[in-house]
Amino acid sequence: MAARIFTLLSHGLWLRCPRCGIGRLYGKPFKMNEHCAHCRLKFEREQGYFIGAIYINYAATVAIAVPGFFVLDLFTTITVDQQLAFWIPFAVLFPLLFFHHSRSLWLVFDHFFNPEKQLFGLPPKKNG
């Protein structure tokens, strides 16, 4: 089970298909492929499917910014105003940079918890 979780997370971090780990999720910077080019898994199953990715993105931003604020407050002489000058732009820019990974991790979580849903999609690609 731990090996499967590690494998799925590595697929998510490398922006690969959660089922086969080969197909790329993105063809262009902000254009997600409709399905995996290798195993034909359909990525967006319904309108609003990636709403959960917003929560992942938000959680990752908060998990970095809040502890980071307190660590800098405890171990440096940086003022609160200086910290806010750093952390506010971080809270705006990080979600934009983490956008692809949050969607990818959402697909990984869905594939882990609901693998039977992965059977729906396009038929497998024929070799040759």
Per-residue pLDDT tens for 29-55?
A: 878 998 889 988 888 878 888 899 999
5 Ramachandran zone, left/alpha/beta (phi>0; psi -120 to 50):
alpha
Cα atoms in the 13 Å half-sphere on the side-chain side of 100: 17
C-alpha–C-alpha distance, residues 119 and 106, integer Å? 17
Reduce the DSSP state of residue 115 to 3 states and report it: helix
What is the predicted pLDDT for the residue at 111? Answer: 86
127 in a structural domain: no
> Which segment of 4-8, 93-97, 112-116 scores lowest on mean pLDDT?
112-116
C-alpha–C-alpha distance, residues 94 and 12, integer Å? 17
> Is pLDDT above 80 for 119?
no
- The residue that leads in pLDDT, 92 or 118, is 92
Beta strands in 3-93 (DSSP E): 26-28, 31-32
C-alpha–C-alpha distance, residues 108 and 124, integer Å? 20
What is the predicted pLDDT for the residue at 126? Answer: 57
Q: Taking residues 21-35, what's their average pLDDT?
A: 88
Most confident of 1-5, 18-22, 101-105: 101-105
What is the predicted pLDDT for the residue at 83? Answer: 93
What is the predicted pLDDT for the residue at 90? Answer: 96
Domain span holding position 26: 2-118
101 in a structural domain: yes
**Which residue from 67, 66, 56, 61 is spatially nearest to 12, judged by alpha carbons?**
56
126 in a structural domain: no
> Is pLDDT above 90 for 122?
no
Q: Taking residues 65-79, what's their average pLDDT?
A: 92
Give me the number of domains the chain comprises: 1
Question: Hey, CA dihedral for 32, 54, 11, 98, is it positive or negative?
Answer: positive
